[in-house]
């Protein structure tokens, strides 16, 4: 019970015992139900276990690949060090040295003056435009970003010339290097705020932004001022220059990563005028540092592989222990639980060591080492506690839902069977035995054939609620196999009250589209898969039931033919309006189907005599699309159409309605006669007989 009917405020002083309303009759026997292991522990299902094991194996495979790549990088780095050492050993002492790193002697590897959009750029966010020789962000946004595809060299000079514009607050304009995504990068920027102006270096890691105080340099800047920011990057060292003057010498606290270049604007607008990226000549110290980092990468990858293998072993042990606990294995649970507990602790140790291998912070190193010692002590103790594979549920249920289900489907309560049979009859005949499909109560309409309704309901119950038997019973009946036209009963049963003929009915929206595609041989019958966007209803040939249908996302073509209401499933409203024929005439889907089908029928009806060819084509078209032969009057009209339209299409002074526009994927035929055949089929697809089931 709820206070004043508000479910937010249950009336705890008046508890309601589980039961059914007495006026409905019957009783319920509520008994606790013991649930199978698949219900209480759903992750123990064989398919799920296989998926968990396969995922762990994929992780090991990825770790092995990462280790191979790390070894390859280490070999390359060691070879570069050896070559440079040999070069220095054989160099003439009197030979002049190369230019310094701040003046690289090599040409740029990437440059852009933004006069045209380069294919290297990818817009991540923001309203970026290439216009009037600049790359511009005209509207204020939060970290509007555009990324260049080439991966930057590890040591390089980046020179960016830009102009900060008036709109915005912080007016932060800058660029990223070592860019992995919007949450992982090294960054340089200028802030031209009204209160203060700075040039800064900061970094983003795991989605968090870090602004070290050592990377902030106050400097006077003006809105509209054209500036040039240069960043000289060598290993962990970063030198920033503003208009040629050095502003910052900075050691980057975040380890370098291989990444790309990105330009961005935060809470401001700007114009980028020029970009240039030049690699720096690597010194012996640079190469040795790169080799040391490559060696660290091997250690990290090795620890990662060890952790992945330990996780796989832990998973196998926990699976074995869980199967024994649930009685799905004959092995004793106690020793398996001890083994699973130890394997889980060893996996945690391996994960921690993997993190330790990539950590340089001394405080963090001490914390991780202490954690490893604690985990090792726990692993050495013979415990039986381990983490379950996933969420578990009670092994028993109250039995109330089962009791309610048995009461609903009890032979003493035929209402459920009547409702089900009424729905099935409606789907086959287009008319329900109880017209008020959503209301079987006292205010609903009375059945047109109550004895038939009760008999079908009894058959459904007698056959164990197998609806297939009811479908078979209906479609094999003489009533369902009747013709829709029977002149002898038109006067005696004008309203078809006694079902003396099959009621004609309109196709449902999905059937209209699927029938159109099937007639042309275009329907994709592949079953299953995720739902498809409703915007692709005209271009994707899957069955209509796979397209999204929600209150806010509906396919226009299906809506015209009375698509189902996503909020209820009682009965569809049927309409006959001119817009339905227009929807098919203008549909790219119908155009494609008519052109495809015209080509197929032309092949079947091919003869040497054009007139006989057209006659065969008309007959095949009616039989394929309308499932009947044409009348003499229809044949004459169609042949006249195929004779007149090609002549009209060949008249150069005749304005021709453009064909094949919109969503159509096939072009119209170049031959005027073949195009006339395509148009004839398009008209037949809009015929009332095509969308009517008789």
Residue 259 shares a structural domain with residue 319: no
* Per-residue confidence (pLDDT) for residue 654, from 0 to 100: 59
**Residue 610 pLDDT grade (very low, low, confident, very high; cuts 50, 70, 90):** low
Q: Report the C-alpha gap between 644 and 651 in whole angstroms.
A: 11
Residue 618 pairs in a beta bridge with: none
The DSSP annotation for 175-209 comes to EEEEEEETTEEEEEEEEE-SS-EEEEEEEEETTEE
Residue 479 shares a structural domain with residue 511: no
pTM over 0.75: no
84 or 121, greater pLDDT? 121
**Residue 7 pLDDT grade (very low, low, confident, very high; cuts 50, 70, 90):** confident
Greatest C-alpha distance within the chain: 121
Residue 172 shares a structural domain with residue 70: no
The three-state DSSP-derived secondary structure of 9-25 is CECCCCCCCCCCCHHHC
Could you tell me if residue 12 is inside a domain? Answer: no
Could you tell me if residue 461 is inside a domain? Answer: yes
User: Considering only 22-36, 151-165, 374-388, which range has the smallest mean pLDDT?
Assistant: 22-36
Q: How many helices (H) and strands (E) does the chain have?
A: 17, 18
Q: Report the C-alpha gap between 237 and 248 in whole angstroms.
A: 10
**Residue 154 pLDDT grade (very low, low, confident, very high; cuts 50, 70, 90):** confident
Cβ proximity of 104 and 229 under 8 Å: no
Q: Report the C-alpha gap between 33 and 518 in whole angstroms.
A: 49
Residue 603 shares a structural domain with residue 687: yes
**Residue 656 pLDDT grade (very low, low, confident, very high; cuts 50, 70, 90):** low
Cβ proximity of 229 and 160 under 8 Å: yes
Residue 561 shares a structural domain with residue 663: yes
Place of tokens 């700075």: 198
Residue 76 shares a structural domain with residue 170: no
Could you tell me if residue 421 is inside a domain? Answer: yes
* Count of alpha carbons within 13 angstroms of residue 211, beta-carbon side: 6
Residue 221 shares a structural domain with residue 309: no
Could you tell me if residue 659 is inside a domain? Answer: yes
Place of tokens 């079953």: 527
* Per-residue confidence (pLDDT) for residue 607, from 0 to 100: 62
* Per-residue confidence (pLDDT) for residue 225, from 0 to 100: 95
* Per-residue confidence (pLDDT) for residue 101, from 0 to 100: 41
Domain boundary among 391, 418, 452: 391
Residue 471 shares a structural domain with residue 618: no
Residue 90 pairs in a beta bridge with: none
Helix (H) or strand (E) holding 224: none
SS3 474: helix
Angle at 117 between CA 111 and CA 123, to 5 degrees: 95
- pLDDT tops 90 at residue 120: yes
Residue 359 shares a structural domain with residue 404: no
State pLDDT tens for residues 550-609: 988 988 889 989 888 888 878 888 888 888 888 888 888 999 999 999 999 988 877 656
Domain boundary among 232, 247, 282: 282
**Residue 97 pLDDT grade (very low, low, confident, very high; cuts 50, 70, 90):** very low
Main-chain dihedrals φ then ψ at residue 676, nearest 5 degrees: -65, -40
Q: What mean pLDDT do residues 625-645 have?
A: 93
List C-alpha distances in Å: 617 to 460, 602, 607.
47, 7, 10
Helix (H) or strand (E) holding 233: strand 226-234
Cβ proximity of 422 and 433 under 8 Å: yes
Residue 163 shares a structural domain with residue 258: yes
Contacts of 200 (CB under 8 A, 6+ apart): 188, 189, 190, 191, 211, 215, 216, 217
State pLDDT tens for residues 515-562: 999 999 999 999 998 999 999 999 999 999 999 999 889 888 899 898
- pLDDT tops 80 at residue 95: no
State pLDDT tens for residues 373-394: 999 998 888 889 999 998 989 9
Nearest to 264, CA basis, from 133, 109, 153, 141: 141
* Count of alpha carbons within 13 angstroms of residue 389, beta-carbon side: 26
Residues composing the chain: 694
Q: Report the C-alpha gap between 645 and 677 in whole angstroms.
A: 9
- pLDDT tops 50 at residue 296: yes
Quote the number of domains for the chain.
4
Cβ proximity of 277 and 261 under 8 Å: yes
Contacts of 501 (CB under 8 A, 6+ apart): 482, 483, 484, 485, 486, 489, 493
- Check the CA dihedral 485-491-493-495 and report its sign: positive
Residue 199 shares a structural domain with residue 317: no
Domain boundary among 459, 490, 521: 490
State pLDDT tens for residues 255-265: 888 899 999 99
Q: Report the C-alpha gap between 203 and 259 in whole angstroms.
A: 13
The DSSP annotation for 333-369 comes to HHHHHHHHHHHHHHHHHHHHHHHHHT---HHHHHHHH
What is the 8-class DSSP label of residue 44?
G
Could you tell me if residue 304 is inside a domain? Answer: yes
Could you tell me if residue 24 is inside a domain? Answer: no
List C-alpha distances in Å: 421 to 409, 458, 568.
13, 10, 18
SS3 241: strand
Q: Report the C-alpha gap between 112 and 149 in whole angstroms.
A: 13
Residue 414 shares a structural domain with residue 361: no
Q: Report the C-alpha gap between 64 and 636 in whole angstroms.
A: 75
Main-chain dihedrals φ then ψ at residue 140, nearest 5 degrees: -70, 135
Q: Report the C-alpha gap between 165 and 222 in whole angstroms.
A: 9
Main-chain dihedrals φ then ψ at residue 73, nearest 5 degrees: -65, -40
| Domain that includes residue 47, residue range | 40-87+284-391
What is the 8-class DSSP label of residue 327?
T
* Residue 502 CB burial class (10 angstroms; 0-12, 13-18, ≥19): buried
> What is the distance in angstroms between the CA of the first residue and the CA of the last residue of the chain?
52
Q: Report the C-alpha gap between 225 and 219 in whole angstroms.
A: 13
Q: Token digits for 589?
A: 């889907």
Contacts of 655 (CB under 8 A, 6+ apart): none
Helix (H) or strand (E) holding 530: none
* Per-residue confidence (pLDDT) for residue 653, from 0 to 100: 63
Place of tokens 């080492």: 369
Nearest to 361, CA basis, from 253, 289, 257, 258: 253
Could you tell me if residue 30 is inside a domain? Answer: no
Percent of the chain with pLDDT over 70: 96
Could you tell me if residue 166 is inside a domain? Answer: yes
CATH number of residue 168's parent domain: 2.60.120.560
Q: Report the C-alpha gap between 543 and 564 in whole angstroms.
A: 15
State pLDDT tens for residues 432-457: 999 999 888 888 999 999 999 999 99
Return mean pLDDT, the chain. 90
Q: What mean pLDDT do residues 40-48 have?
A: 91
């Amino acid at each position: 019970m709820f206070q004043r009917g508000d479910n937010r405020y249950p009336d705890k002083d008046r508890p309601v015992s589980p039961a059914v309303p007495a006026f409905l009759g019957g009783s319920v026997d509520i008994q606790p139900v013991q649930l199978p292991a698949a219900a209480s522990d759903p992750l123990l299902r064989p398919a799920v276990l296989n998926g968990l094991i396969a995922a762990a194996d994929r992780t090991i495979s990825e770790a092995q690949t990462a280790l191979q790549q790390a070894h390859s990088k280490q070999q390359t780095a060691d070879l570069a060090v050896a070559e440079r050492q040999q070069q220095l050993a054989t160099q003439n002492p009197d030979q002049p040295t190369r230019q310094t790193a701040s003046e690289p002697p090599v040409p740029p590897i990437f440059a852009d003056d933004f006069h045209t959009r380069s294919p290297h750029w990818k817009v991540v966010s923001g309203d970026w435009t290439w216009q009037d020789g600049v790359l511009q962000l005209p509207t204020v946004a939060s970290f509007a970003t555009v990324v260049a595809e080439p991966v930057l060299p590890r040591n390089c000079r980046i020179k960016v010339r830009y102009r900060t514009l008036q709109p915005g607050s912080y007016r932060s304009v800058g660029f990223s290097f070592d860019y992995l995504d919007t949450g992982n990068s090294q960054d340089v920027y200028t802030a031209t705020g009204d209160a203060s102006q700075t040039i800064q270096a900061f970094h983003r890691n795991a989605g968090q932004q870090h602004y070290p105080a050592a990377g902030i340099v106050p400097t006077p800047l003006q809105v509209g001022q054209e500036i040039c920011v240069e960043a000289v990057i060598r290993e962990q060292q970063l030198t920033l220059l503003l208009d040629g003057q050095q502003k910052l010498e900075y050691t980057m606290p975040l380890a370098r990563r291989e990444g790309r270049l990105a330009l961005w604007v935060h809470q401001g607008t700007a114009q980028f005028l020029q970009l240039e990226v030049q690699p720096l000549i690597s010194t012996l110290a640079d190469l040795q540092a790169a080799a040391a980092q490559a060696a660290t990468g091997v250690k990290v990858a090795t620890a990662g592989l060890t952790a992945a293998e330990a996780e796989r072993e832990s998973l196998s042990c926990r699976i074995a222990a869980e199967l024994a606990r649930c009685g799905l294995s004959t092995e004793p649970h106690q020793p398996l639980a001890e083994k699973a507990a130890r394997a889980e602790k060893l996996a945690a140790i391996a994960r921690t060591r993997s993190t330790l291998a990539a950590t340089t912070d001394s405080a963090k190193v001490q914390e991780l080492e202490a954690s490893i010692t604690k985990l090792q002590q726990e692993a050495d103790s013979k415990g039986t506690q381990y983490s379950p594979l996933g969420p578990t549920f009670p092994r028993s249920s109250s039995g109330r839902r089962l009791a309610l289900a048995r009461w609903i489907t009890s032979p003493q309560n035929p209402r459920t069977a009547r409702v089900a049979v009424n729905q099935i009859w409606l789907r086959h005949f287009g008319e329900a035995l109880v017209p008020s499909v959503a209301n079987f109560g006292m205010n609903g309409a009375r059945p047109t054939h109550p004895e038939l309704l009760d008999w079908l309901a009894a058959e459904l119950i007698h056959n164990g609620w197998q609806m297939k038997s009811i479908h078979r019973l209906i479609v094999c009946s003489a009533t369902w196999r009747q013709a829709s036209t029977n002149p002898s009963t038109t006067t005696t049963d004008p309203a078809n009250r006694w079902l003396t003929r099959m009621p004609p009915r309109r196709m449902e929206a999905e059937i209209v589209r699927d029938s159109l595609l099937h007639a042309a041989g275009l329907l994709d019958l592949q079953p299953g898969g995720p739902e498809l966007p409703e915007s692709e209803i005209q271009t994707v040939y899957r069955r209509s039931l796979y397209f999204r249908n929600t209150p806010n996302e509906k396919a226009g073509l299906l809506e015209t033919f009375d698509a189902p209401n996503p909020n209820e499933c009682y009965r569809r409203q049927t309409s006959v309006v001119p817009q339905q024929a227009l929807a098919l005439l203008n549909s790219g889907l119908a155009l494609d189907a008519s052109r495809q089908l015209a080509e197929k029928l032309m092949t079947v009806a091919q003869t040497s005599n054009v007139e006989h060819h057209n006659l065969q084509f008309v007959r095949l078209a009616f039989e394929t699309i309308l499932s009947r032969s044409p009348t003499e009057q229809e044949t004459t009209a169609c042949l006249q159409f195929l004779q007149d339209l090609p002549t009209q299409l060949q008249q150069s002074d005749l304005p021709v309605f453009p064909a094949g526009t919109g969503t159509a994927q096939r072009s119209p035929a170049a031959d005027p006669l073949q195009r006339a055949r395509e148009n004839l089929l398009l008209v037949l697809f809009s015929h009332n007989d095509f969308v009517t089931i008789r």
